[in-house]
Structure 1
Amino acid sequence: MMKFYYILIALPVFLSSCKNFLEEDPESFVSEEQFYQTESDAETAINAVYYHLNTGSVQSPYNTLFNTGMNMADDDEDPGPGATNSDVRSLAVLSHTTSNQRVYELWQQHYAAIRKANVVLAKVPDISFSDETKKNRILGEAKFLRALFYFNLVRLFGDVPLITTYQSEVLASSYYTTRTASDSVYAQIETDLAEAATALPASYTSPDVGRATAGAAKALLAKVYLYEASLPLKITSKYQLAVSKAEEVLSAQDGGTGTYGYDLFTDYSHTFLPAYKNGVEHVFSAQMLANSNNQDNNETQRAILSAIPGITGNNYAHMVRYYTVGSDNYYSIYKIFRADDKRRNVTFVRSFTSPTNGKKYGLPLSNPAVPNDSTPFYNKWWDPNYASAGESSTNVTILRYSEVLLIHAEAENELNGPTAKAYKSINRVRTRAGLPDLTTGLSQDQFRDSVYLERRLELVYEYQRWFDLIREKNASGGGILLSSLQKVGKTNVADKHYLYPIPQTEIDNNPLLTQNPGW
């Protein structure tokens, strides 16, 4: 696992050294201008950008915030009894406003990370390195991370301020900036990722395992192309680029030219268990570590039932979204899975076993339509050592090889219809799940719907669903957001929800910002 060094400019700088685990080492105060002098300073600076992926000291995007600030609004998830925050609960029913705190935090957290990436790109070139390859690697990491954070922002908010330079001005008015058109933001993302792919290595050795790689840059670029080709931009020429870039990542056995050694785990559960982190399927993950500088995965406890002896739970603050299908008033994403789908019982558990007394604890549902029905609890971020450690070391997957296969299948189908290549990629994912190959002879529309469903089942609870809801299309080419959310009873959904509101605080502080339509 990579080692992190945290820098908080004009505050105490917390550095950590890594032998087996992270250790805190408080240092003295240091100014921003004094700091960037050595290779060690450069490494500390880039690790400060990674910090925004995994820190649990606040809700960061890949450590709870994408759940409380995004997942709750989709058709697979709801706030459970333990989620009492009014901003979270209003977002879950799409009655949130421009003053919603979670929306503001999403904006703030992403721009804080982008600013740190810009600092790296401005300061590190002037630092003398004994190995220029390492300098270029650090610059490549900064570009990769900046691209990832801008990719999230442009999908959530649409046109956003594009800031690519180091800002050290004193006057608040110096930071006033307008929103940049989405296509220009995407162009910068493409540039950053293309340059990162040439600067980053194919892999790392300890303690740097977990950093961005060339394969991760190409995989993310393939995903970026797919999203540009989808709603709302609909730049269909990007489908070809998505196919080609995905094939640069895919291994030879999957019809690609990639030499990165990616593959699927035979056992789907290994994708999430800490014992297998940074393995053959993991293209890029947010690195989590229990009892180390607030780097633990805070999601673990949020999906656990309370009052289980020996296990600390947050009364399943994150729960499945229930809705009615026929006579079943407790239909959910759990029941969309086939019973023989191996992913279902990895993604969910129906009970927890107390490490204290060995008893099982669950929550029955009074559901006449399904005898002995009970609550399914999200389980992907479960750490088997959680009870003893008190915290979770389960990484949060940001890019997996299975998603690259599905990106390839979807883009190929949009480009050429359901070809043998497209079938091969989707069937690789289905085979690992224990499912039969997809029915042959499907139309392009049918195949598209099959890929959409496969993405939903394969990637549920991994901060993907909302992003898919706002880009996927029906057979007529229209969006699916409204119909999908109305189906599960989220009737407040409206066209304005295709974009998040620009936080009102940001507009108040920057008179050049404008609000999204309908907000």
Structure 2
Amino acid sequence: MKKIYRNLKTAVLALGCMSLLLSSCSDFLDKNPHDFVSPEIFYKNESDCMMALAGVYWTLATDHVYGERYSNILSNTDDLSYYARLNQSGQVYTNSHNSSNNDIYQTWTQLYSGINNANVLLDNIDAANIPDAAVKNRIKGEAKFLRAYYHFLLVQSWYEVPIRTETVTDINNSSLAATPHAEAIDWIIKEMEDCIDLVDDSKYDLSPSHVKKTTVQGILARVCLWRAGSPSNGGKEFYEKAAKYAKAVYDSHKHKLYQGDIYAIWKNIASDKYDTEYNESMWEVEFIGTRVDGKFTYSRIGNTIGNWQENTSSTGKGYAYGFYCGSLILWDLFEKNPGDLRRDLSMATYKLDASDAAVYWKDTEIVTRRCGKYRREWTTTSPKEKNNDQINYPVLRYADVLLMLAEAENEAGKAPTDLAYDAINEVRERAGIDKVENLSYAEFQQEVRDERARELCFESLRKYDLIRWGIYYDAAHNKLTEATNDKRWTTSGYYKAAKEYAANTEERHQFLPIPMKELGVNLLLKQNSYWSNAAE
């Protein structure tokens, strides 16, 4: 996606019309549209449509989605991490929010803006003069996939939402009822399946930011696992589909686990380097700039989530609040396999003080360890701005595909297959821990769940795993409460915040409430069943 950002002027579409950013890259990165161009005038050729496609991708890189709100505030509310701040009433990361919460509303509106951008492009691309059919199909495929993916994020987060396949041309005449949950997921699966042979399947040596065939297949595995589990309970049929799509990625031989320094994956993500030998990072949201020169994306990756860094100088290694800490549950999962190389990567052993010197945590400070995957000290930007940076965000890694394959194979036949063992053990071997073998269905199921925690913590996936496994409340309330009462849990300072979060957690917090503002304008939309009877 960064190649699209840098090499093309970019169109960003607004509700009811298309806003075209006509000037420089800095204008494109500004939040406010400068001009408006009718679709009848635009969409004449490949260049126009590529600009419009960049506008569809743009949603991923906003602060409302992967820049901070969806990726962290709305999604990192699980049992493996917590937000180290006290008395944060009304916030999603403390599960004390309601339908008036602004983070919820902003993410909702941004995702629907991306959907509308895709709809406008899909409405107009057939009339564009693009002689190469493969190019036109690729643009269509990426736009259709992104439209389906944005719907998936909405359904996964809000339970039942409107499926919008038509361009909104009149905001006053746009009311639409929610689609039932299972029906919506089935539509998303079908849409994504339609894209498999439309998108690119050759340029795997380029940026991991534009959607390719294996991206579609990998995300399809994720969506099918969601459909198989709670709350839609599609069962075996969808476990088999998940296995099919994960195996398609596996059989493509386009991706491998990075071998060597396990920190290198995350150093590449922080420093805008592409690993074209292994291609483990299959899909990234890319961010540019640091706000200093005005050419930047609003990303708090590395700042609100990342290791704790105290140097505010623009010439230092960067400042980071490091709000997100690992929990004792995550620590104990790593400790089940002594020598796991991912422990100190994921739960950093130190902070950087104001002079960039490392200050190491004591043995009694387990839950003060911050998320270590996104470290500003690894970035290459200079000068640095206090809050924003260029650290990319991984949406799909090959390690995730392997673990989805292991899970789906085990669930489909209620027993681990040879392929399931191969998949999970490939991830474990890279982490420096022993293989698993000769396990029952239930034992293998638990190993997969634990392995997903160790491998994918802090990547906006754990909450949704807990939900589809039907154990969110037990994990985020019961087990996290028990962990915060453990004598190893620090009771000083902000680290008591996890106890507040766990105490606040109810069954309804599996999903977000539909924003009150949206209910006020969409008169056909009702509050979802998880929140409709909740006292706010």
TM superposition score normalised by structure 2: 0.82
1:38-437 aligned at under 5 Å gives the runs 38-55=45-62, 59-81=63-85, 86-88=89-91, 91-169=92-170, 172=172, 174-204=173-203, 210-236=209-235, 237-250=237-250, 257-259=251-253, 261-266=254-259, 267-274=261-268, 276-277=273-274, 279=276, 280-291=279-290, 293-295=295-297, 297-302=299-304, 303-305=306-308, 307-308=310-311, 310-321=316-327, 331=328, 333-338=330-335, 339-353=338-352, 357=355, 359-361=357-359, 364=361, 370-371=363-364, 375-383=368-376, 384-385=378-379, 388-390=382-384, 392-416=389-413, 417-437=415-435
Select the residue among 499, 502, 511 that pairs with 1:499: 511
- Cα shift at 1:101: 1.4
Once the two structures are TM-superposed, the CA of residue 389 in structure 1 deviates from its matched residue by 4.1
Structure 1 portions without partners, runs of 5+: 251-256, 322-330
For residues 246-280 of structure 1, what are the alpha-carbon distances to aligned partners after superposition, in whole Å with 9 as ceiling and x for unaligned?
11110xxxxxx324x11000132232223543541
In structure 2, how many angstroms separate the alpha carbons of the residues matched to 1:11 and 1:120?
10
- Whole-Å separation in 2 of the counterparts to 1:63 and 1:51: 11
CA contact (8 A) 1:247 1:408 kept: yes
Amino acid at match of 2:418: A
For 2:505, give the aligned amino acid.
Answer: V
Amino acid corresponding to residue 266 of structure 2 in structure 1: F
SS in 2 for 1:198: coil
Asked if the contact 2:307/2:348 (under 8 Å) is kept, the reply is no
Answer yes or no: is the 8 Å Cα contact 1:144–1:217 preserved in 2.
yes
Residue 151 of structure 1, CA deviation: 1.1
Amino acid at match of 2:527: Q
Letter in 1 for 2:252: G
Q: Which whole-Å deviations, capped at 9, do the CAs of 1:111-131 have from their partners, x for residues lacking one?
A: 111111111111112111121
Question: Is the CA contact (8 Å cut-off) linking 1:485 and 1:493 kept in structure 2?
Answer: no
Instruction: Tell me, yes or no, if the aligned pair for 2:119 and 2:165 is still in contact at 8 Å.
Output: yes
Cα drift, residue 500 of structure 1: 1.5
| 1:458 alignment partner, one of 455, 458, 478 | 455
Q: Structure 1 CA distance, aligned partners of 2:508 and 2:366?
A: 37
Shift of 1:423: 1.0
Superposed CA RMSD: 2.9
Structure 2 portions without partners, runs of 5+: 484-498
Runs (4+) off by over 6 Å:
25-28, 205-208
Deviations along 1:207-236, one digit per CA (max 9) or x if unpaired, are 765210011011111111111111111111
Distance in structure 1 (CA, Å) of the matches to 2:303 and 2:365: 25
1 or 2 for the larger relative contact order (CA 8 Å, sep ≥6)? 2
Separation of aligned partners in 1, 2:197 and 2:381: 43
Q: CA deviation at 1:15?
A: 5.6
Structure 2 residue matching 1:73: 3-state secondary structure: coil
1:77-100 Cα distance to aligned partner (Å, 9 max, x none): 22234x986543xx2332211111
Amino acid at match of 2:302: T
Indicate the larger mover: 294-303 or 122-131.
294-303
Structure 1 position 421, deviation (Å): 1.5
Provide closer, same or farther for how the CA distance between residues 207 and 71 of structure 1 changes in structure 2, counting only shifts above 3 A: closer
1:9-20 matched pairs, under 5 angstroms: 9=14, 13-14=20-21
TM-score, normalised to structure 1's length? 0.85
